Structures are given as structure tokens and as C-alpha cells.
Amino acid sequence: MPELPEVETIKNDLAPEVKGCRFVAVAFLCPQMVRRPSPDELHQRLIGQTVQEVTRRGKYLIFRLHSGEALLLHLRMSGSLLLKLSPAEPNSYTRAIFNLGNGLELHFCDRRKLGTIELVRDEAEVTAKLGPEPLDPGLTTEVLSQRLSRRRAPIKAVLCDQAFLAGIGNMYADEALFAARIHPLKPARALSEEEIERLHQAIAEVLEAAIGNRGATISNYSDAHGQPGVHQFFFSVAHRGGEPCPVCGTAIQRIPIRNRGTYFCPNCQNK
């Protein structure tokens, strides 16, 4: 699943290209991906609108429009958003095409058809449920400590909870916990202040490094130009089950936590 670094990369690619562009046509090839309003109403309300800004909240891509409305896209497990020259031939996984009227099209591709498209009067209708942004300066060690103190669940599960922190998923939770030397099954509220300080720093460092490497391509993620990320080559533990730990050489283990495959070093992250 594309996580914060991957969505941030796509946002950075799109922002300078589509700001000021006008939606002139929309084709929904998989109407069930339109969550709200209906595909017909979304088409009617979107056509003619100008993109004022492209931003990100958690794993959502947000197109803020001149009317004050917002178009929100979520890539879910296998989605990608590709910027193409118009007219562009859709591939077999293209589910929606947004024509921007200046020789550009946006193709929302999704093999599994799990992605979502929403047009709302106020983006808070969707994003209010999300937790703080992990890279927000307001998320201090003290704030993180306070939020963790109320959570009994394993720290890995808590980091992946979008209501706790927005944008972190399976890969980067594993990487941050390894960097902080914290076992993924440790209850969140049992972390020491020293561990929380390490985790706070690790989250920022892991996410910023991944953004710098334009995200990680494990299966089918690509940036807005169809190019893969390279951060997967720098993973310490994520998706490296059975390989030696880069620090101590112990074989990296994979265990399920809340139905998520979790990778960690049993020596460096001793419970």
C-alpha cells in the first residue's frame, strides 16, 4: 500500500503541473470507486472547476478547488495516479480519467479496485478522523508520549492506526521500530520515555529518507510519471524476512500483528 512517502512523492510531482488547471471531462471506468456523491453528481460538480492547490493529508491526495470544494483520492492497496499527455490510451487497470484541458490527463489506475474518489464541500468531512501528521512540528516527543500513554495495543498496531498518526503504514512502522530498537509487540503505553524519544526521532528520519528516495516500490507503486521508487533498497527490516540484520546479523523474523505481516530483528529489538 502506498504510504505517506509515496503519496507525498505523487503530490510533489503533481502540484506544479496541475495547479491552475481546469477539469473539462471525467470518465469513471469503475463507478463503484466513487464513494460520494454519485458518479453523475460528482461529474456535474467537478466539470469547470479549477485546481487551486494539491496537497496531502495522511494517505489522501487532495485537490482543493476554486469553489472551496475538495476532490480526495485514496490509492488504497494498489492504486496509482499517473499524469499523461492527452489523449492517452488507458491501460487495463485504469479506473478513472480526469481531463485537465491543457493537454494533460490524470489516470487513476488500480488493479484491485479498492481506491476511492470523493468530492466534498469540506475536506474535514473525510480528514477529521485522522490523527496528527508524523512530520508536523507540533507532534513533539511530549505529545507523542501523551498519546501513547492511552493505548494498550502493540506499538506496531498503534503506529498503523490512522486515527493515531496519519500516513504511517506497515513498511514504515517496521522501519521506525527497528531504528528505535523497540519490539513491535510491546504495548504502546509501556514504552519508556527514552524509547519514545528514540521512536519520535526514528519516525521523522525514516519518513524523510523515504521521501528523498521517492518512496518504495514493493509491487506496483509508481510516481506520477510512472517511475518506481528506490527506497526499498534501503530497508533495514521491512520485507526482508530471513535475511541478516544489517546491524547484528541475526535473521530478520516475520510475525503477524493484527493481521499485518511484521518484520523485526529479535536481537536488536529484544522484547
Active-site residue, selected from the candidate residues 64, 186, 254, 260: 260
- Mark whether 19 and 119 lie in a shared domain: yes
Where is 51: in which H helix or E strand?
A: strand 51-57
- Mark whether 79 and 40 lie in a shared domain: yes
Q: Of the residues 93, 127, 161, which one is the last residue of a structural domain?
A: 127
- Mark whether 22 and 78 lie in a shared domain: yes
Q: Of the residues 127, 162, 182, which one is the last residue of a structural domain?
A: 127
- Mark whether 78 and 100 lie in a shared domain: yes
Active-site residue, selected from the candidate residues 57, 59, 84, 156: 59
- A 10 A CB-CB count for 129 gives 11
Can you tell me which residue has the cell 507503486? 221
Active-site residue, selected from the candidate residues 2, 5, 134, 154: 2
Residue 23's pLDDT band, with cuts at 50, 70 and 90, is very high
- Mark whether 113 and 41 lie in a shared domain: yes
Please indicate whether residue 59 is annotated as part of the active site: yes
Question: What is the grid cell recorded at 136?
Answer: 508536523
Model pLDDT for residues 210-224, shown as the tens digit of each residue:
999 999 999 889 999
Q: What is the pLDDT of residue 220?
A: 85
- Structural domain harbouring 27: 4-127
Please indicate whether residue 132 is annotated as part of the active site: no
- CATH code, 151: 1.10.8.50
Average pLDDT value for residue range 124-149: 98
Q: What is the pLDDT of residue 197?
A: 98
Active-site residue, selected from the candidate residues 3, 6, 123, 195: 3
**DSSP annotation of 247:** T
Residue 1's pLDDT band, with cuts at 50, 70 and 90, is confident
Closest CA to 260 of 155, 109, 190: 155
Q: What is the pLDDT of residue 219?
A: 84
Q: Does residue 134 form part of some domain? A: no
Q: Does residue 135 form part of some domain? A: no
Where is 178: in which H helix or E strand?
A: helix 170-180
Please indicate whether residue 228 is annotated as part of the active site: no
Please indicate whether residue 11 is annotated as part of the active site: no
- How far from chain centre, in Å, is Cα 114? 14
Q: Does residue 225 form part of some domain? A: yes
- Mark whether 79 and 153 lie in a shared domain: no
Does the structure show a pLDDT above 90 at 103? yes
Q: Of the residues 127, 155, 174, which one is the last residue of a structural domain?
A: 127
pTM, two decimals, is: 0.96
Q: Does residue 81 form part of some domain? A: yes
Q: Does residue 26 form part of some domain? A: yes
**Which residues make beta-bridge pairs with 106?**
83, 98
Q: Does residue 157 form part of some domain? A: yes
Q: How many domains does the chain have?
A: 2
Average pLDDT value for residue range 230-252: 98
Residue 58's pLDDT band, with cuts at 50, 70 and 90, is very high
